[in-house]
C-alpha cells in the first residue's frame, strides 16, 4: 500500500471517552482517499460514491501519529475503488498498528455531475502497474 497522508491526533480531536472521534477519522480517510483518487485518475472531478464498512480496530489518543495508506483495488470505466488502512505510527520504534480499514469508491463526473469515463492513458498506466505487480509476485 502507498502512504497517502499523515496526521497527528490533537486534543481538539478527542471525545469524552478519550479517543479520537470516529467521524473525524472517517473524514481524514475520505480526504486522503479523494486526493489519492484524483491524482491517480489525473482529474480533480472525482466524488465519493461509496464508503464500505469502516472497521475501527484500535482507539487513537491525543498525540498519536496516524498514517493513511491506500491502494487501487479496481479501476472501472468511470470509477476507482480503493482499499484504505489507517495505521498508528510509533515515532520511537517506527512500528505501525492498523487502527481502521475500509474501502472507498470514487466516480469521475462531468460539469453536470454525471459519470464520465476515466482517461485511456490512466487505464493503460493502471494495466501496466497491475502487470508489473503480478510479475513480481510470480
User: Could you tell me which residues come within 8 angstroms of residue 112 by beta carbon, excluding any fewer than 6 positions away?
Assistant: none
C-alpha cell at 90: 510509533
The model's pTM:
0.91
Cell numbers linked to 40: 491517480
In tens digits, the chain (138 residues) has pLDDT values of 999 999 999 999 999 999 999 999 999 999 999 999 999 999 999 999 999 999 999 999 999 999 999 999 999 999 999 999 999 999 999 999 999 999 999 999 999 999 999 999 999 999 888 888 777 776
Domains of the chain by residue range: 2-137
CATH match of 2-137 with 3.10.129.10: yes
Q: Position of cell 489518543?
A: 61
Q: Distance (Å, rounded) from C-alpha 54 to C-alpha 25?
A: 10
**CA 56 to CA 25: how far, in whole Å?**
10
State residue 133's pLDDT score. 79
Q: Which of 130, 125, 3, 111 is nearest to 47 (CA)?
A: 111
Distance CA 43, CA 81 (A): 15
Amino acid at each position: 500500500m502507498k502512504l497517502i497522508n499523515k496526521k497527528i491526533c490533537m486534543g481538539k480531536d478527542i471525545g469524552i471517552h478519550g479517543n479520537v472521534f470516529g467521524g473525524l477519522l472517517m473524514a481524514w480517510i475520505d480526504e486522503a482517499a479523494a486526493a489519492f483518487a484524483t491524482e491517480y485518475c489525473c482529474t480533480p472531478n472525482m466524488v465519493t460514491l461509496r464508503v464500505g464498512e469502516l472497521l475501527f480496530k484500535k482507539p487513537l489518543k491525543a498525540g498519536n501519529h496516524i498514517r493513511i495508506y491506500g491502494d487501487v483495488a479496481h479501476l472501472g470505466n468511470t470509477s476507482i475503488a480503493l482499499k484504505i488502512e489507517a495505521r498508528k505510527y510509533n515515532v520511537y520504534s517506527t512500528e505501525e498498528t492498523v487502527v481502521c480499514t475500509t474501502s472507498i469508491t470514487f466516480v469521475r463526473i462531468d460539469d453536470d455531475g454525471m459519470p464520465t469515463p476515466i482517461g485511456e492513458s490512466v487505464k493503460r498506466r493502471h494495466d501496466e502497474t497491475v502487470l508489473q505487480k503480478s510479475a513480481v509476485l510470480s
